[in-house]
Amino acid sequence: MVQMSTKDIPIFGSIIGFLDGEDIDYGIVAFLIGLFIIFFVFNKVGLPQSQIVSILFALAPIWLPIMSFLAFFKIYMDMVGKKFGINSGRTVMEIVLPPEVFKSPEAMEYVFTQIYNAASPDNLMETYLDGKRPLPYTFELVSRGGDVHFYITTPNKFVPSLTDNMYAQYPGVEIKKLDLDYTAEIPKNLKGLSFMCFHIGKKKGSELPIKTYIDFGLDKLPKEEEKLDPMTPMLEVLANIQPHQQLWVQFICIAHREKSFKNGQLRSKGTWEKDVSAKIDEIMMRDPKTKTGMADLDGMPRITTGERDTIEAMERNVGKAAFNFACRVVYISNKNERDYDGGLFARISRMVSQTELKDRNGLGIRWRTDFNYNFISDPFFKKRPALKKAELKEYKTRKLYTKARSMSYKIMTAEEMATIFHLPGTVAITPTLNRVTSTRSDAPSNLPIGNLPI
| Cβ neighbours for 419, distance < 8 A, ≥ 6 positions apart | 105, 210, 211, 212, 213, 216, 230, 355
Give the span between the Cα atoms of 166 and 174, in whole angstroms: 9
The pLDDT of residue 74 is: 87
Q: Are 435 and 97 in contact (CB under 8 A)?
A: yes
Gap between the Cα atoms of 391 and 330, Å rounded:
9
pLDDT at 305: 85
Q: What is the pLDDT of residue 445?
A: 55
pLDDT at 402: 86
pLDDT value of position 3: 47
| pLDDT of res. 71 | 81
Q: What pLDDT, on the 0 to 100 scale, is given for residue 450?
A: 46
Q: Measured between alpha carbons, how far apart are the two ends of the chain, in Å?
A: 82
Mean predicted lDDT score pLDDT of the chain? 84
Parts of the chain with a pLDDT under 50: 1-3, 23, 295, 440-441, 443-444, 447, 449-454
pLDDT reported for residue 267 = 86
pLDDT score at 1: 42
Helix 305-318 crosses helix 273-284 at what angle (to 10 degrees)? 170
pTM, two decimals, is 0.83
